[in-house]
């Protein structure tokens, strides 16, 4: 039996966390000499390392201010999460889809996300998804997407070949990371980058049901 691996991005793919993301970045910009950028500008950078996102959004602030902004973002995000937050809820159909996929014996589930380990652990625990994923790679430990290191770690930990894996995400960062790792990419249309930008995807899907079927079709024989 050949093991297969479906690797998921988190923010914008499994959960809609834009409320907490925008609120946290807005709080971070209270330390900047410039006003917070608009929502769309913030969401376009979701998936990259937080340090890179802050540097991109606040290029005229020095390294010391940027570091303080990163910490303010993390503290605000954690506080929002503990208080219920404004977002981070699964997209329609995602929870049931993951339950069905988890019951397929040759199929393993993984995560490759720019979230911190602390943030991912808290999210998975709050959704009772702790046991769903056998490999979880986070932004704390690797270069930012689209560097393929996180996907390479997923393959290494599970012993699955790239040809037997698929990456699912909502951004061009996810798409480019998958291409760099030699892994097929499935795009979702409900995330933070326009679907028309996901040009290298084997498919771009509009629903969790379509995503489930496309994962199974892309990975082939799961008997």
Q: Based on the domain organization, do 130 and 53 belong to the same domain?
A: no
Q: Based on the domain organization, do 166 and 179 belong to the same domain?
A: yes
* pLDDT single digits (tens) 44-79: 999 888 999 999 999 999 999 999 999 999 999 888
Rounded mean pLDDT, 16-20: 90
Contacts of 162 (CB under 8 A, 6+ apart): 155, 181, 182, 183
H/E element, 54: helix 50-57
Rounded mean pLDDT, 10-21: 93
Q: Based on the domain organization, do 54 and 64 belong to the same domain?
A: yes
Answer whether 135's CB lies under 8 Å from 107's CB.
no
* pLDDT single digits (tens) 132-161: 999 999 989 999 999 999 999 999 999 999
The domain boundary residue, chosen from 26, 55, 83? 83
* pLDDT single digits (tens) 116-125: 898 899 899 9
| 11 SS3 class | strand
pLDDT at residue 223 is higher than 80 = no
Q: Which CATH number do you get for residue 70?
A: 1.10.150
What is the DSSP annotation of 27-43? HHGGGSSSPPPPHHHHH
pLDDT class of 81 with cuts at 50, 70, 90: confident
Q: What does the pLDDT read at residue 47?
A: 87
| Number of neighbours of residue 127 by Cβ within 10 angstroms | 17
pLDDT class of 84 with cuts at 50, 70, 90: low
Q: What does the pLDDT read at residue 83?
A: 74
Domain coverage including residue 153: 4-16+88-219
Describe the chain by its helix, strand, coil percentages, rounded to 5.
Answer: 45, 15, 40
Residue 9 or 77, more confident:
9
Q: Based on the domain organization, do 140 and 59 belong to the same domain?
A: no
Separation of alpha carbons 204 and 169, rounded Å: 10
Q: Based on the domain organization, do 109 and 202 belong to the same domain?
A: yes
Separation of alpha carbons 149 and 88, rounded Å: 25
Model's pTM, two decimal places?
Answer: 0.91
Count the domains in the chain: 2
Which residues are catalytic, by number?
A: 9, 11
Q: Based on the domain organization, do 95 and 165 belong to the same domain?
A: yes
Q: How far is CA 135 from CA 52, 80, 89, 118, 132, in A?
A: 25, 26, 21, 15, 9
Q: Based on the domain organization, do 129 and 24 belong to the same domain?
A: no
How does the average pLDDT of the chain come out, rounded? 93
């Amino acid at each position: 039996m050949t093991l297969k691996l479906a690797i998921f991005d988190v923010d914008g793919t499994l959960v809609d966390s834009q409320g907490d993301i925008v609120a946290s970045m807005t709080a971070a910009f209270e330390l900047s000499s410039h006003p917070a950028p608009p929502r769309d500008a913030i969401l376009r950078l979701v998936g990259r390392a937080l340090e890179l996102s802050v540097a991109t959004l606040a290029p005229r602030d020095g390294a010391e201010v940027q570091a303080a902004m990163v910490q303010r973002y993390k503290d605000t995000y954690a506080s929002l999460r503990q208080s219920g937050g404004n977002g981070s809820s699964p997209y329609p159909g995602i929870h049931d889809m993951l339950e069905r996929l988890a019951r397929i014996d040759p199929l393993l589930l993984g995560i490759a996300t720019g979230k911190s380990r602390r943030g991912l652990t808290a999210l998975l625990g709050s959704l009772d998804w702790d046991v769903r994923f056998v490999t979880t790679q986070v932004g704390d430990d690797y270069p930012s997407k689209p560097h393929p290191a996180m996907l390479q770690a997923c393959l290494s930990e599970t012993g699955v070949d790239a040809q037997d894996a698929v990456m699912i995400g909502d951004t061009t960062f996810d798409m480019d990371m998958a291409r760099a790792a030699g892994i097929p990419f499935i795009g979702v249309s409900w995330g933070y980058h326009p679907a028309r930008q996901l040009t290298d995807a084997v498919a771009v899907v509009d629903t969790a049901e379509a995503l489930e079927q496309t994962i199974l079709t892309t990975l082939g024989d799961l008997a």
